Amino acid sequence: MSMKKQQWDSKRIQALRRHLGLTQRELADKLGTRQQTISEWETGMYRPRGASATLLSMIAERAKFEYQAKPKQP
């Protein structure tokens, strides 16, 4: 498995969830966490760490999720 350590910021987490077609609650259920935690990640209040970050990376790899950050507008 070619798992790369990914930086999970709010935009990447939201993009992954949308790529998977899941609600915050559904993603929380997959990760074994609370919907509020997903919301806090997506608003940038907190970032996933440890096992949660690893699980996000595994889910992203299985879903063939490729995140392309949009360039900032001048």
Q: At 51, which amino acid appears?
A: A
The domain spans of the chain are: 10-62
CATH number among 1.20.1090.10, 1.10.3720.10, 1.10.260.40, 3.40.50.150, domain 10-62 = 1.10.260.40
**How much is the pLDDT for 68?**
80
Q: Give the model confidence (pLDDT) of 42-70 as tens digits.
A: 999 999 999 999 999 999 999 999 988 77
Query: What CA–CA distance (Å, rounded) separates 24 from 21?
Result: 10
**How much is the pLDDT for 69?**
74
In terms of Cα–Cα distance, which of 12, 32, 14, 33 is closest to 23? 14
**How much is the pLDDT for 52?**
95
33 DSSP 8-state letter: S
- pLDDT score of 24 more than 90: yes
